Amino acid sequence: MIGDQYLLLPGPTPIPERVVRAMSKPMVNHRGPEFKQLLLEVTGELKEVYQTKQHVLIYPASGTGALEAAVVNFLSPRDKVLAVSIGVFGDRFAKIASEFGAQVEKMDFPWGQPADPQRVKERLDQDVNREIKAVLVTHNETSTGVFNDMKAIGEALGSHPALLMVDAISGLATIDLKMDEWNLDVVVSGSQKAFMIPPGLSFMAFNEKALEVHKQSKMPRYYWDASQGLKYLEKGQNPYTPAASLYYGLAESLRIMKEEGLDNIIERHRNYRDMVRSSVQAMGLELLAKDEYASHALTAVVAPEQIGANQIRKFMLEQFNIVLAGGQQKLDNVIFRIGHLGYVRELDLLAALAALEISLYKLGWEIELGIGINKAQTFILNKTQKGD
Ligand SMILES: *Cc1c(COP(=O)(O)O)cnc(C)c1O
């Protein structure tokens, strides 16, 4: 099939040509001046994306590596931890903490819904002896396409001393997240989501409060040790050999992001969400999440039962070379997920929605061709008339 594949996953995402070229630079000495400059530049720019003045460390790992880094740096064995979960990735964060010996109390919400900050507050109010050491929360739950109100959850902690540790791997730079202003103590993200570079880097931001906890923490750790990370960062180095080529890609993607501006990036993702949701609904399909908390990064669509989500994905791939994500665990074959984060443009989504209409039609869904695409076009037209 001619042309590039449309990779519409909620990570990994397509990579801009500029980033691909930046990563083809010759290798440098990772303890030399070029790398020092590169490391200091990307660390500084990452702080802008996190809206923080605190610490940021970069790890050569996918996002889960940095979730583990958060657990081993800021918890101790037998610490009581409240793990708020609204899906697969909330469960994963909880599992990592319990594997390392924390006493994890799960607070589960139905898949497709966000966490209720009031319930978090009530649970912490009950904890009169202040035994809970950390609250784990997912910013954007990629398995269901739902985001949590991190500002409200930050407020729910109030004066409770627990650390608020956030998995913002797919949320950062698609949905607003003000780390310092909202009192988020540890925030993790990853390279293959909104950062538009290949998988292989993850980021862990943490504040002074978390650093104090880290110094007392008794969790066994070596490779992920934040003290080592900070010590070497002062010299413009990583403790161990960094994935230098990915850093060049990151530096370029951060330049692209700066040119667009963080607020514009977030608004662009919000527009994608609104456009995709209105179009898919016009096709007669149901959405898993309600409007108020629907993710900017991806849309989870409930497939017609008689067709099944996986058959739609297969048809889209074979006929159009478009890759959509399936549902995970109990949502397998129930939903398909359209990723619309990172290096994606409106036209890509228009094409994918048109292909989706044809696929649904061919698979026997009663649909009037053009009905969903019309919604998407109207959305773009209205936006254009508003002057942007
Ligand atoms: C992608 C993702 C992860 C991490 O996945 P990796 O495959 O390890 O990069 C964790 N949490 C969320 C919310 C994600 O979207």
Q: Is the pLDDT of residue 253 over 90?
A: yes
Give the Cα separation of 312 and 332 in Å (integer).
13
Ligand 1 centroid–CA 156 distance in Å is 25
Give the Cα separation of 335 and 299 in Å (integer).
10
Give the Cα separation of 169 and 155 in Å (integer).
21
Ligand 1 centroid–CA 295 distance in Å is 15
pLDDT digits (tens, 9 = 90+) for 74-107: 999 999 999 999 999 999 999 999 999 999 999 9
Ligand 1 centroid–CA 339 distance in Å is 13
Say whether pTM exceeds 0.75.
Answer: yes
β-pair type (335-339, 322-326): antiparallel
- 3-state SS assignment for residue 3: coil
Q: Is the pLDDT of residue 221 over 80?
A: yes
Q: Where in the chain is the domain with CATH 3.90.1150.10?
A: 6-12+261-385
pLDDT digits (tens, 9 = 90+) for 256-312: 999 999 999 999 999 999 999 999 999 999 999 999 999 999 999 999 999 999 999
Strand partners, 132: 80
Ligand 1 centroid–CA 205 distance in Å is 16
Q: Where in the chain is the domain with CATH 3.40.640.10?
A: 17-259
Is residue 167 in contact with ligand 1, taking CB distance under 6 Å?
Answer: yes
Fold entry, domain 17-259: Aspartate Aminotransferase; domain 2 (3.40.640)
Q: What angle do the packed helices 226-234 and 208-216 form, to 10 degrees?
A: 120
Is residue 339 in contact with ligand 1, taking CB distance under 6 Å?
Answer: no
| Average pLDDT for the chain | 97
Is residue 12 in contact with ligand 1, taking CB distance under 6 Å?
Answer: no
Whether CATH 3.90.1150.10 fits 6-12+261-385:
yes
